[in-house]
C-alpha cells in the first residue's frame, strides 16, 4: 500500500552473473515454503466436506434469518 | 429501523476477499525493491521471522476480534472494540480503525486510477509510442500532474480517477456478498493467471539468471543492520493489510462456527505467493536483464512507481507483443489495486450501517462524499505533497499504532485464554501452544518495539517537518503557499475528518442507548415499538 519511495543509498548489492549456492538455497526455500504452505492451505480448505465448513449458526446470532 | 447484517456467501469468498485486500501494488513493486536493497535472498530471513511472529499472529487477532464483534452486529473497529473491551474509551480508540482505512482510500483510488489509465494507453498504443520515443518518464510525469488531456479537455488523470471511483463505489454499493465477494472471485483468478503468464515470460527470457542472481544471492552482511529487520517487519505489516481495520470488518461477516484459523492462514499464504514468487521474480530480475547491473542504481532511484510505470513498459516494449504484455501488467496491477481499495472503504460503510443504522445506500453515499472531496484534494494536491502526507499517516503510522493496539487488546484485555478459545471456535486444526505464547507476549511486544523504533526514526523528520525546506512554495488550486503551510492544511483537514468521526461515534452510541431503553420499555409494556 505504501507510496513512499524507498531510499536508494543502500543499493549496492554484488552483481554476480549466476546464482550462487546460497542464492539457489534461498530461492528454493522461499519458493518452496510459500508454495507448500499455499498448496497445503488450499488443499485443506477445498478438500473439506461442505457440512464440516460451516456449522449451523444459533438462531439468536443468525442475522440473515 | 430494522437492520440485518450480511454474511459471506462462501468460505472461499471471504478468503479471496482478505487475500485481495492484502495483494496490492506493494507485492509487485515494493517487496522486490526492499529485498534487493536489503540483502537479496538474506532479506528473507528477517522477512519470514516477521511473517511468523508478527504477520500470521496479528492476522489471527484481527479475524478473531472481527468475528467476535460480528456476533453483536458490529462490523467496524469502534463497535468491535467496544464489545471486546467493554469500556467507554474503546469505541473512540477504535475510530482509528475506521479513519485509517478511509485515509488510505483518499489517495489510493487515485493511484489505482493511474493503472486503469495506463492499461487504456497500453491498449490504444499511446504508451508504446512514448516508449519508442523515449519519453515514457515524461508521459507518466505529465499524466499524474493532470497535464495530459482527454475528451472534453478534462485531464486524463481526473477522468480515470472518476471512473475508478465509480467502479469502487459500485462494487461496495452492491454489498458484501454481491459486490465485494463477487469481484474478488473474478479478480483473484485474473491476478493469478496474468501473474503466471508474466512469470513464465520472465523466466524464459535469455540472461534471466543474472537478474535472479541479483535478486536472490544472499548478502549476509546486511543482516547485522537493525534497519533491515525493521524494513522486513514493515513490509510484512503493509503487505498483509494488518493494522488497517479491513480484516476486522471482513471477519465480522464470517459465521460463528467458520474455521478462521485456516481461512486466515490461507489468505496470508496467498498473499505471500503473490509477493515472494510473483513479485520477487517479475520486476527486478527483468530490470537487470534489460538495463544491466550497472544501471540498476538509476532504476532504484526511480522508486517503486518509477519501476512500475516507467521501467516495466520499457522492458515489455523490448519484447514480442509489447502492447499485450503492457496491458497484462497494468490490468494485473489494477485488479490488485481495486481488491485492496474496496477493502479500505468497507470499514466506514459498516460503521454507518451498524452503528448509525443507515441503509447501505446511505452509508455508501456518506463514505463516497467524504472520499470524493478528499480524493480530489489528493488529485489536485499530488504535486504539492498531499498524497505523501496522507500516505505517512494512513499507510504507515496509523497501521502500526492500530496493529499494536489490537495485539494488546487481544492479549491483555480480551485475555489470551479467551482469545485462544475464540480463535479455535470452529477450527479444523489445533495450533501448537507455542503460538499462544507468541500471541500473548511476542506479537504485542514486537509491535510496541516496532512502533517506538518507527517514532524514533520518523518523528522529527516527518511529523515535525524537519526535512521540509521552510522557503519551498507550492501551488494548490491556484493558490500559492509555502509547503509547510500546505502540509499543515492537509493535516487540519484530516484532523477535521477524525473529529467528525468521533462526534458521530458519540451520537451513535447515545442514540443506540436511547433506542435500547425504548425497546426495553416497549417490551415491558407489551406494546409494539414503532
pLDDT score of A58 = 53
**Alpha carbon separation from B25 to B2, B114, B215, B241 (Å, rounded):** 39, 12, 19, 12
Q: Considering only residues 12 to 41 of chain B, which have any Cβ-Cβ distance to chain A shorter than 8 Å?
A: 12, 15, 24-26, 30, 33-34, 36-41
Q: What is residue A58's DSSP assignment?
A: P
Yes or no: say if B326 and B286 are a contact pair by the CB < 8 Å rule.
Answer: no
Yes or no: say if B376 and B132 are a contact pair by the CB < 8 Å rule.
Answer: no
Q: What is residue A5's DSSP assignment?
A: P
Which residue from B512, B522, B521 is spatially nearest to B3, judged by alpha carbons? B512
Q: Tell me how far apart the alpha carbons of residues B194 and B329 are, in angstroms, rounded to a whole number.
A: 8
Taking residues B149-175, report their average pLDDT: 93
Q: Is B152 on the interface with A (CB under 8 A)?
A: no
pLDDT reading at A9 higher than 70: no
Contact: A53, B11; criterion CB under 8 Å: yes
Q: Would you state the cell numbers that stand for residue A5, as one nine-digit string?
A: 519511495
Contact: A33, B30; criterion CB under 8 Å: no
Contact: A8, B301; criterion CB under 8 Å: yes
pLDDT score of B81 = 97
Q: Considering only residues 325 to 384 of chain B, which have any Cβ-Cβ distance to chain A shorter than 8 Å?
A: 340
Sign of the CA dihedral B376, B378, B381, B383?
negative
Q: Is B270 on the interface with A (CB under 8 A)?
A: yes
pLDDT score of B303 = 75
What's the 3-state SS for B416-460?
Answer: HHHHHHHHHCCCCCCCCCHHHHHHHHHHHHHHHHHHHHHHHHHHH
pLDDT reading at B1 higher than 50: no
Which residues lie closer than 8 Å to A31 by C-beta, 6 or more apart?
B276, B277
Helix (H) or strand (E) holding B66: helix B56-71
Contact: A45, B38; criterion CB under 8 Å: no
Q: Is B208 on the interface with A (CB under 8 A)?
A: no
Yes or no: say if B136 and B122 are a contact pair by the CB < 8 Å rule.
Answer: no
pLDDT score of B497 = 98
Q: Would you state the cell numbers that stand for residue B184, as one nine-digit string?
A: 474478488
pLDDT reading at B230 higher than 90: no
Q: What is residue B311's DSSP assignment?
A: I
Sign of the CA dihedral B437, B442, B448, B451?
negative
The pLDDT-based confidence of A65 (bands split at 50, 70, 90) is: very low
Taking residues A17-29, report their average pLDDT: 92
The pLDDT-based confidence of A49 (bands split at 50, 70, 90) is: low
Place of cell 525493491: B33
pLDDT reading at B341 higher than 90: yes
pLDDT score of B301 = 66
Sign of the CA dihedral B370, B143, B297, B129?
positive
Taking residues B389-397, report their average pLDDT: 90
Residue of A nearest to B109 (CA): A1
Place of cell 495485539: B407
Q: Tell me how far apart the alpha carbons of residues B74 and B509 are, in angstroms, rounded to a whole number.
A: 12
Q: Tell me how far apart the alpha carbons of residues B12 and B7 are, in angstroms, rounded to a whole number.
A: 13
- Interface A:B, Cβ pairs < 8 A: 178
Nearest to A45 among B210, B212, B266 (CB): B266
Start-to-end CA distance of chain A, whole Å, equals: 37
Q: Tell me how far apart the alpha carbons of residues B187 and B181 are, in angstroms, rounded to a whole number.
A: 10
Domains in chain B: boundaries: 23-525
pLDDT score of A59 = 52
Contact: A10, B256; criterion CB under 8 Å: no
Min Cα separation B467/chain A (Å): 14
The pLDDT-based confidence of B33 (bands split at 50, 70, 90) is: confident
B261: left (phi over 0), alpha (psi -120 to 50) or beta: alpha
pLDDT score of B295 = 73
ipTM of the complex: 0.90
**Alpha carbon separation from B106 to A59, B15, B263, B266, B396 (Å, rounded):** 39, 25, 29, 29, 14
Which residues lie closer than 8 Å to B135 by C-beta, 6 or more apart?
none
Torsion of CA A45, A46, A51, A57, to 10 degrees: 50
Three-class secondary structure of residue B476 per DSSP: strand
pLDDT score of B523 = 77
Which residue from B215, B233, B37, B192 is spatially nearest to A30, judged by alpha carbons? B215
Q: Is B463 on the interface with A (CB under 8 A)?
A: no
Taking residues B217-243, report their average pLDDT: 90
Other Cβ atoms within 10 Å of B161 Cβ, number = 25
Could you write out the DSSP letters of every residue in B153-208?
G-BHHHHHHHHHHHHHHHHHHT-IIIIIIHHHHHHHHHHHHHHHHHHHHHHTSTTH
pLDDT reading at B277 higher than 70: yes
pLDDT score of B290 = 84
Could you write out the DSSP letters of every residue in B106-136?
HHHHHHHHHHHHHHHHHHHTHHHHHHHHT-H
Per-residue pLDDT of B448-488, as tens digits, reads: 998 898 788 777 778 888 888 889 999 999 999 999 999 99
Percent of chain B that is helix, strand, coil (3-state, to 5): 80, 0, 20
Q: Calculate the average pLDDT of chain B.
A: 92
Bigger pLDDT: B95 vs B528: B95
Q: Would you state the cell numbers that stand for residue B273, as one nine-digit string?
A: 505467493
Contact: B266, A41; criterion CB under 8 Å: yes
Could you write out the DSSP letters of every residue in B462-519?
IIT-TTS-TT-EEEETTEEEEHHHHHHHHHHHHHHHHHHHHHHHHHHHHHHHHHHHHH
Query: Which of B60, B195, B266 best tests the A interface by mutation, with the highest count of A CBs <10 A?
Result: B266
Residue of A nearest to B25 (CA): A1
Yes or no: say if B201 and B325 are a contact pair by the CB < 8 Å rule.
Answer: yes
Yes or no: say if B249 and A54 are a contact pair by the CB < 8 Å rule.
Answer: no
The pLDDT-based confidence of A5 (bands split at 50, 70, 90) is: very low
The pLDDT-based confidence of A2 (bands split at 50, 70, 90) is: very low
Which residue from B451, B363, B411 is spatially nearest to B98, judged by alpha carbons? B363
Which residues lie closer than 8 Å to B528 by C-beta, 6 or more apart?
B522
CATH of the domain spanning B23-525: 1.20.1740
pLDDT reading at B525 higher than 80: no
Nearest to B340 among A1, A27, A64 (CB): A1
Amino acid at each position: 500500500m505504501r507510496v513512499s519511495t524507498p531510499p536508494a543509498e543502500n543499493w549496492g548489492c554484488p552483481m554476480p552473473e549466476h546464482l550462487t549456492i546460497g542464492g539457489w538455497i534461498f530461492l528454493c526455500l522461499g519458493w518452496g515454503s510459500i508454495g507448500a504452505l499455499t498448496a497445503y492451505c488450499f488443499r485443506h480448505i477445498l478438500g473439506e466436506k461442505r457440512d464440516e465448513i460451516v456449522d449451523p449458526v444459533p438462531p439468536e446470532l443468525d442475522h440473515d434469518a | 429501523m430494522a437492520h440485518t447484517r450480511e454474511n459471506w456467501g462462501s468460505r472461499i469468498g471471504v478468503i479471496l476477499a482478505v487475500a485481495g485486500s492484502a495483494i496490492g501494488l506493494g507485492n509487485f513493486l515494493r517487496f522486490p525493491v526492499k529485498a534487493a536493497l536489503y540483502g537479496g535472498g538474506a532479506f528473507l530471513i528477517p522477512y519470514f521471522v516477521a511473517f511468523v511472529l508478527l504477520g500470521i499472529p496479528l492476522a489471527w487477532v484481527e479475524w478473531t476480534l472481527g468475528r467476535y464483534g460480528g456476533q453483536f452486529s458490529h462490523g467496524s473497529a469502534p463497535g468491535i472494540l467496544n464489545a471486546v473491551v467493554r469500556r467507554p474509551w474503546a469505541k473512540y480508540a477504535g475510530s482509528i480503525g475506521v479513519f485509517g482505512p478511509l485515509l488510505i482510500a483518499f489517495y489510493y483510488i487515485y493511484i489505482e486510477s493511474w493503472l486503469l489509465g495506463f492499461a487504456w494507453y497500453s491498449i490504444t498504443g499511446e504508451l508504446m509510442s512514448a516508449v519508442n520515443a523515449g519519453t515514457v518518464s515524461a508521459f507518466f510525469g505529465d499524466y499524474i500532474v493532470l497535464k495530459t488531456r482527454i475528451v472534453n479537455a478534462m485531464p486524463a488523470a481526473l477522468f480515470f480517477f472518476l471512473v475508478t471511483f465509480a467502479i469502487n463505489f459500485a462494487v461496495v454499493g452492491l454489498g458484501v456478498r454481491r459486490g465485494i465477494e463477487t469481484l474478488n472471485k473474478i479478480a483473484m483468478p485474473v491476478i493469478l493467471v496474468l501473474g503466471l503468464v508474466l512469470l513464465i515470460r520472465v523466466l524464459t527470457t535469455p540472461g534471466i539468471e543474472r537478474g535472479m542472481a541479483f535478486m536472490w544471492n544472499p548478502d549476509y552482511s546486511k543482516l547485522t543492520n537493525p534497519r533491515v529487520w525493521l524494513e522486513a517487519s514493515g513490509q510484512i505489516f503493509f503487505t498483509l493489510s494488518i493494522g488497517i481495520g479491513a480484516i476486522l470488518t471482513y471477519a465480522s461477516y464470517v459465521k460463528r462456527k467458520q474455521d478462521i484459523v485456516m481461512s486466515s492462514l490461507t489468505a496470508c499464504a496467498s498473499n505471500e505467493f503473490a509477493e515472494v514468487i510473483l513479485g520477487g521474480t517479475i520486476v527486478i530480475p527483468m530490470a537487470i536483464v534489460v538495463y544491466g547491473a550497472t544501471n540498476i542504481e538509476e532504476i532504484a532511484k526511480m522508486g517503486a512507481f518509477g519501476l512500475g510505470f516507467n521501467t516495466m513498459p520499457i522492458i515489455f516494449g523490448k519484447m514480442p507483443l509489447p502492447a499485450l504484455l503492457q496491458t497484462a501488467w497494468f490490468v494485473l496491477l489494477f485488479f490488485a489495486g481495486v481488491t485492496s481499495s474496496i477493502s479500505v472503504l468497507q470499514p466506514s460503510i459498516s460503521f454507518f450501517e451498524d452503528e448509525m443504522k443507515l441503509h447501505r445506500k446511505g452509508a455508501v453515499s456518506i463514505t463516497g462524499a467524504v472520499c470524493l472531496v478528499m480524493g480530489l484534494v489528493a488529485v489536485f494536491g499530488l504535486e504539492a505533497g498531499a498524497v505523501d502526507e496522507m500516505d505517512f499517516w494512513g499507510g504507515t503510522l496509523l497501521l502500526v499504532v492500530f496493529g499494536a493496539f489490537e495485539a494488546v487488546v487481544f492479549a491483555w484485555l480480551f485475555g489470551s485464554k479467551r482469545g485462544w478459545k475464540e480463535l479455535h471456535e470452529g477450527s479444523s486444526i489445533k495450533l501448537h501452544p507455542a503460538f499462544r505464547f507468541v500471541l500473548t507476549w511476542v506479537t504485542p511486544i514486537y509491535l510496541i518495539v516496532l512502533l517506538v523504533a518507527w517514532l524514533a526514526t520518523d518523528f522529527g523528520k516527518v511529523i515535525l517537518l524537519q526535512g521540509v525546506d521552510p522557503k519551498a512554495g507550492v501551488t494548490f488550486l491556484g493558490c500559492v503557499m509555502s509547503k509547510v503551510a500546505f502540509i499543515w492544511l492537509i493535516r487540519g483537514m484530516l484532523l477535521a475528518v477524525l473529529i467528525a468521526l468521533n462526534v458521530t461515534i458519540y451520537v451513535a452510541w447515545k442514540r443506540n442507548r436511547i433506542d435500547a431503553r425504548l425497546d426495553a420499555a416497549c417490551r415491558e409494556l407489551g406494546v409494539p415499538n414503532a
